[in-house]
Amino acid sequence: MNGNEPAAFLSYARADDSHAKGGILKLCAMLSAEVGVQMGRPFPIFVDRNDIKWGENWRVRINESLEAATILIPIITPNYFDSILCRDELTRFLKRGGQDLVFPIHYIETPQLMSPTSFPHDKLAQALAARQWVDWRKLRFSKLNTVTVQRIIEDLAKRIRGALETSHRGSHVTVRQGWWDAYSDIPEAGYYVGLEDSADSIQIYDPSRVPQLFQTSDYARAVIRESQPSLSLASVERRVELCMRRQSLLQRDNPPDIVIVLDEAPLRRVVGGRSVMASQLRHLAEMASMPHVSLEILPFSAGERGTIGGFTIFSLNSQADPDVVYLELATGAIYLDALNEVAEYSFLFARLRNSTLDPDLSYELLLHVQKGL
């Protein structure tokens, strides 16, 4: 899917987002990310303010995107029903048989949605009221990182995914199925693991910890407990189980080529105690000796590298799919597949490699640190 073929179309009155100080677009971004995680590939939502470049014919661009989109997401407010453009977007979508693919979000108290019988001649109000809509009226005053908001976004994403899986119009949105679907309760078990499983090659830069594909269970358990202290013991063990199962990728007949640029700091930072850390370093040395794995350590002597966070570049085994860059954030993750963005991170990865120790020297440093524990 390229940038001209959105999976969904956000239909909203522009004045509402201005009054909400960008809250509608932030909600849209959260929903896009969550559906992408659950589906196993990006779920781009067309938002004209973000997606139309200067000089483009905006009306043509909107028409093309509305026609390409599988899902319509109307943001329901009084302004929505007053907007000729919003009504036109909904009318055109319904005419092509998209009734079951409309997912309204009730953003501001709107009589047409609450009392559709009071508007007997408004067919659009009747159509929207007949759909299961998300009640966001009170939530628009809440912070987007609350548990309630996250739960509602997850529930809406599940409904959208279900609609896509049963819709014939959803053929341009690939919903990848795999063993990781059994771990759908864990966010990274969707899109990320699907990318990992499909990749021909993987390039990983991590400045803070040993990458999950190469973690021991004790190290993984310690990292998860530290990074997500509110998780129950069962949830921690569930994530450790997923981490270990993902590593079967390294043993399969056609494993991806993996290059890891690992900062020296994670080697020396003791995680889970000295015994756990020593075992982790031994395990990493064993994995680094595999023919399809190249471990290159970025030593302290390389100097300051700036504030570069960790990232992973997946090169996929399908010419129809672009390479994807994964950026892990404290509050979630970002996936980039625009050619210029992927090229920028590929260049950054190459620059980092220019400062690393070669695999042999990296292996020696790894053993040296391990023996010192």
Residues 152-209 have pLDDT tens digits of 999 999 888 888 766 543 333 343 457 877 887 776 666 678 788 888 999 999 999 9
Which domain does 229 fall in, by range? 179-371
In a domain, 79, yes or no: yes
Return all residues near 277 (Cβ < 8 A) that are at least 6 apart. Answer: 219, 270, 271, 373
- Same-domain pairing of 158 and 23: yes
Query: What's the burial of 95, exposed, middle or buried (CB within 10 Å: 0-12/13-18/19+)?
Result: exposed
- Same-domain pairing of 102 and 117: yes
164 vs 43: CA distance, rounded Å: 11
- Same-domain pairing of 283 and 142: no
**pLDDT at residue 321, as a whole number:** 62
Q: Please give the single-letter amino acid code of residue 357.
A: L
292 vs 210: CA distance, rounded Å: 17
345 vs 315: CA distance, rounded Å: 12
- Same-domain pairing of 118 and 265: no
- Same-domain pairing of 141 and 17: yes
- Same-domain pairing of 165 and 186: no
75 vs 19: CA distance, rounded Å: 13
Two structure tokens written together for 22: 């960008």
69 vs 96: CA distance, rounded Å: 12
Low-confidence residues of the chain: pLDDT under 50: 1-4, 54-56, 168-176
**Cβ distance 298 to 358 under 8 Å?**
no
Q: Among residues 115, 141, 172, which one ends one of the domains?
A: 172
- Same-domain pairing of 298 and 265: yes
In a domain, 228, yes or no: yes
145 vs 149: CA distance, rounded Å: 7
CATH code of 157's domain? 3.40.50.10140
Q: Among residues 137, 172, 207, which one ends one of the domains?
A: 172
Q: Among residues 172, 202, 232, which one ends one of the domains?
A: 172
- Same-domain pairing of 101 and 243: no
- Same-domain pairing of 233 and 354: yes
43 vs 31: CA distance, rounded Å: 9
In a domain, 1, yes or no: no
- Same-domain pairing of 183 and 60: no
**pLDDT at residue 306, as a whole number:** 65
Q: Sign (positive/negative) of CA torsion 365, 366, 367, 368?
A: positive
- Same-domain pairing of 14 and 160: yes
CATH code of 315's domain? 3.30.870
How many domains, the chain? 2
- Same-domain pairing of 100 and 164: yes
Two structure tokens written together for 37: 């995680």
Query: What's the burial of 29, exposed, middle or buried (CB within 10 Å: 0-12/13-18/19+)?
Result: middle
**pLDDT at residue 70, as a whole number:** 87
